[in-house]
Structure 1
Amino acid sequence: MLLGQSILFAVLQASLFLGYGMSEIERRFLTCADPSLQCDYGVIMVYGVKFSTIEKLSSNESPKACSDTEAFNGVSNRCDGNGKCEVATSGSVCDLCNSAHLSDIFLDVTYGCLESKKVTTCEGAGVVHLECGNGVVFLQKALYGRTDSQTCSQGRPQSQLTNTKCSQEGTLALWSQRCDGKQMCEVNMRVNQISDPCYGTYKYLDVTYICLPAQTSITCEGSTSSLDCGKGVMKVFHANYGRRDGSTCSAGRHELSNQNCLQPKTLDIVKQWCEGKSQCTVGLDPVFGDPCYGTYKYLEVSYTCLGGTPTV
């Protein structure tokens, strides 16, 4: 992925003022001796990777070919959303530490640290919102239950606070499906109260998320859309084919009642079409199957352009 470092730096620096909670953009050279990235706070977001090698003069073997796109995808998959990551692990990114082939190999990585936001809602409270302005929500953690005796404790008897090992399975998956990729997401405690993970304990919902500097493309069922990053390339954060609200692609339609229609394989398909490319076409409905028969669906894709300005 051939990115102009000065252009990339300018684009990302501009995002500091859009409310994404991003640290200064950093550039590191990863080698076998030092193959890790780390954020002192927040989580890693990789924006560019270049691959370089110096072959051993005494070796007749050629190093494993690695394009900048391959290197970017490998580092991004390992590091994005984590506080720390090791690039040179089993199945390393383009044989970073294969000493049989190389005397030196490094990855030139440009990345930033995104600050996490946390929202806590006490049981019985009203609706709260996760908001990201011009960016999109991406959940990191979600807990429904109780893990300490202080949170949401005011006015509650001690007997409702003693169980601090209470958590409902699937809470992160539930809210990720509902919120990831949206600029604003409504969090309603009633959604979590389908079952009770610890009867008699006063519970709360803890949600930790980051705001990604991304835009969202919507393609109604039966249509296609062209995504264009000009001279830049795409990084896809989230994609779903289905329906998550009652207003999107709703004009003249009545088949809107199912607003929890999800197709888990959408992201992998859209990444194959678009990740690391300057242009792509999305919205080929048959590829996704029909995750909710009888519901009018749409494809939503949250992405950003690295190294250029989008022309969508």
Structure 2
Amino acid sequence: MVVIRGGQGLHIYKEYILLCVLPVLQASLFLGYGMSEIERRFLTCADPSLQCDYGVIMVYGVKFRTIEKLSSNESPKACSDTEAFNGVSNRCDGNGKCEVATYGSVCDLCNSAHLTYIFLDVTYGCLESKKVTTCDGAGVVHLECGDGVVFLQKALYGRTDSQTCSQGRPQSQLTNTKCSQEGTLALWSQRCDGKQMCEVNMRVNHISDPCYGTYKYLDVTYICLPAQTSITCEGSTSSLDCGKGVMKVLHANYGRRDGSTCSAGRHELSNQNCLQPKTLNVVKQWCEGKSQCTVGLDPVFGDPCYGTYKYLEVSYTCLEGTLTV
């Protein structure tokens, strides 16, 4: 017999049950934004996977738990709930399926020294995705999330079938169905992630021609995430606060992506494609999994666009670190 020590007292199970798939417990909380009901799953080394039959995974909470044999004082490596949350979130968010322990372990989930002594109590939901197809030459691509923010999942510029955007086009422009421009997802993520509404001219794709003579289109798949947005003008700092919850950073950029933000009394606004790719990782180090953090005014960002007045934008959501089912 083994004991799972949970927040509601001691729950005793036979050991073989813990090595099999434990039932998924459903909560009645509905989050909107196309989110399914919140689910709770216990991940063991025997079953370290999460899956959404429709949509993509959004992790809302992770608790590290140990299964202790009553006759042994042996304990596995300590792991904070924040470490566990960050590890599972980084591997699973935005994917239809993920294996938590495929490439290494989250806090030694599959350490052979204590193979059956750890499990992760994961709370997550499945978020529906949206798809927008825009034919070449159509002008502006429009992505919108209402009160949420855009977060791109896939982006293809080229052609993968002969039917999409085919009306009025000669067959010779439709036959190449293995046409894809490299770097399209990064290109559009940089321009749209973290915005409530994103409008970008299709011409930004024309950095190269992945298949000359083929009529191309842009396919963008994205999700809308409920989020708060913090703007910190150059030379300043801001405090982010999630109260009793913890932060999940969705997007961050230091630079400039429009001409109106932090523009009062400034004239250095012409470069509106100023991006610092390492911003997200830096802000995650500051804030991810924490209840409070301070952002901005840090030389680590460097100067991604000399002569432009910049700002730090951060989109984040507050998760209930003690969400119960």
Taking structure 2 as the reference length, the TM-score comes to 0.87
- SS of structure 2 residue aligned to 1:231: coil
Whole-angstrom CA distance in 1 between matches of 2:85 and 2:324: 23
Q: Which runs of 4+ in 1 moved over 3 A?
A: 8-19, 55-62, 308-312
Deviation for aligned residue 1:191? 1.1
The alignment covers a number of residue pairs equal to 305
What fraction of aligned residue pairs are identical, expressed as a percent?
95
| CA distance in 2 between partners of 1:262 and 1:270 (Å) | 14
Q: Deviations over 1:61-87 (max 9, x none)?
A: 531111111110110011001100111
Q: CA deviation at 1:269?
A: 1.1
Which of 1 and 2 has higher RCO (CA within 8 Å, sep 6+)?
Answer: 1
Q: 1:189 to 1:119 in 2, by over 3 A?
A: same
Q: Is the 8 A contact 1:11 1:307 kept in 2?
A: no
- Alpha-carbon distance in 2 for matches of 1:60, 1:164: 61
Q: Identify which of 245, 259, 263 aligns with 1:232.
A: 245
Is 1:29 paired with 2:31?
no
Cα 1:286–1:15 change in 2 (3 A) is farther
The question of whether the paired residues in 2 share the 8 Å contact of 1:146 and 1:204 is answered with yes
Task: Give the deviation of 1:13 after TM superposition.
Answer: 12
The CA RMSD measured in Å over matched residues stands at: 3.9
SS in 1 for 2:209: coil
Distance 1:282 1:12, change over 3 A: farther
1:194 match: secondary structure: coil
**Structure 1, unpaired ranges of 5+:** 1-7
How far the C-alpha of 1:311 sits from its partner, in A, is 22
Q: Distance in 2 between matches of 1:67 and 1:135?
A: 30
Deviation of 1:169 after TM superposition, in Å, equals 1.1
Q: 1:9 to 1:256 in 2, by over 3 A?
A: farther
How far has the Cα of 1:49 moved from its partner? 0.4
Asked if the contact 2:59/2:125 (under 8 Å) is kept, the reply is: yes
Write out per-residue CA displacement over residues 198-247 of structure 1, whole angstroms, 9 at most, x where no aligned residue: 11111101111111111110000011111111111111111110111111
Q: In structure 1, how many angstroms separate the alpha carbons of the residues matched to 2:324 and 2:254?
A: 23
Q: 1:161 to 1:102 in 2, by over 3 A?
A: closer
User: Any conservation in 2 of the 1:9–1:25 contact (CA below 8 Å)?
Assistant: no
* Cα contact 1:242–1:292 (8 A) shared by 2: yes
Name the stretch that deviates more: 42-51 or 184-193. Answer: 184-193
Structure 2 unaligned spans of 5+: 1-20
Q: Is 1:218 paired with 2:249? A: no
1:59–1:101: 8 Å Cα contact kept in structure 2? no
Counterpart contact for 2:56–2:93, Cα < 8 Å: yes
Task: Answer whether contact 2:142 2:197 (CA < 8 A) is retained.
Answer: yes
1:167 and 1:179 map into 2 onto residues whose CA distance is 20
Q: How does 1:9-48 map to 2 (within 5 A)?
A: 20-48=33-61
Distance 2:31 2:116 in 1: 43
Taking the aligned partners of 1:11 and 1:91, their CA distance within structure 2 comes to 24
**Structure 1 residue 287: Cα displacement:** 2.4
Say if 1:146 and 1:164, in contact at 8 Å, map to a contact too: yes
What per-residue deviation string (whole Å, max 9, x for no partner) do you get for residues 16-69 of structure 1? Answer: 887521111111111122111000011100000011112346767531111111
